[in-house]
Amino acid sequence: MSDSNGIVLRMENITKTFPGVVALDNVSIDLYKGEVLGILGENGAGKSTLIKILAGNYIKDSGDIFIDGQKFEIKGPAEAMSSGIRVIYQELNTINNLTVAENIFIGEQLVKGPLKIIDWKGMNKKAEELLAVMNVKLDPNAIIGDLTVSEKQIVEIAKAISQEAKILVMDEPTAALSEEETQSLFKIIQALKTKGVAIIYISHRLKEIFEITDRVTVLRDGKKVGTLKTKESDSNKLVEMMVGRDIKDMYPKRHVPIGGVVMEVNNLGAEGFDNISFKLRKGEILGIFGLLGSGRSSLVKALFGANKIKNGEIIVNGKKLRIKSPGMARDAKIGLVPLDRKIEGLALMMGVKENITLANIKELGKSFLIARNQERRKAGNWVDEIGIRTPSVEQEVNSLSGGNQQKVVLAKWLESGSQIIILNEPTRGVDVGAKIEIYKLMQDLCEKGSSIIMISSELPEILSIADRIIVMSKGRFTEEYKICDASEEGLLRSACL
Q: Which of 412, 282, 322 is nearest to 358 (CA)?
A: 412
User: What are the phi and psi torsion angles at 297 (to 5°)?
Assistant: -70, -35
Query: Nearer Cβ to another protein, position 20 or 63?
Result: 20
Query: Nearer Cβ to another protein, position 257 or 391?
Result: 391
Shortest Å, Cβ 433 to another protein? 16
Shortest Å, Cβ 324 to another protein? 11
Query: Nearer Cβ to another protein, position 21 or 170?
Result: 21
Burial track 75-100 (b if 16+ CB lie within 10 A, e otherwise)? eeeeebbebbbbbbbeebebeeeebb
Q: Are 376 and 393 in contact (CB under 8 A)?
A: yes
- Total length of the chain: 497
Positions touching another protein (CB under 8 A) are 19-20, 304, 306, 325-331, 336, 338, 343-350, 354, 358-359, 361-362, 364-365, 368-370, 372, 391-392, 394-396, 399, 412, 416
Query: Nearer Cβ to another protein, position 126 or 330?
Result: 330
Shortest Å, Cβ 347 to another protein? 4
Give the residues across from 315 on adjacent strands: 264, 320
In the three-class reduction of DSSP (H, G, I as helix; E, B as strand; rest coil), residue 381 is classed as: helix
Q: Which of 266, 285, 278 is nearest to 450 (CA)?
A: 285
Q: Which residues contact 129 (CB under 8 A, 6 or more apart)?
A: none
Q: Which of 494, 420, 422 is nearest to 459 (CA)?
A: 494
Shortest Å, Cβ 466 to another protein? 23
Q: Are 66 and 10 in contact (CB under 8 A)?
A: yes
Shortest Å, Cβ 445 to another protein? 18
Beta strand pairing call for 285-289 and 468-473: parallel
* HSE (side-chain half, CA atoms, 13 Å) at 464: 16
Query: Nearer Cβ to another protein, position 359 or 438?
Result: 359
Query: Nearer Cβ to another protein, position 132 or 361?
Result: 361
Q: Are 446 and 419 in contact (CB under 8 A)?
A: no
What's the alpha-carbon Rg for the chain, to the nearest Å? 24
Query: Nearer Cβ to another protein, position 81 or 328?
Result: 328
Give the residues across from 10 on adjacent strands: 30, 66
Shortest Å, Cβ 423 to another protein? 13
Q: Are 320 and 314 in contact (CB under 8 A)?
A: yes
Query: Nearer Cβ to another protein, position 19 or 318?
Result: 19
Shortest Å, Cβ 296 to another protein? 16
Shortest Å, Cβ 243 to another protein? 25
If one counts every other C-beta atom within 10 angstroms of the C-beta of residue 268, the result is 21
Q: Are 162 and 130 in contact (CB under 8 A)?
A: yes
Shortest Å, Cβ 299 to another protein? 15
Query: Nearer Cβ to another protein, position 154 or 346?
Result: 346
Q: First vs last Cα of the chain: how many Å apart?
A: 52
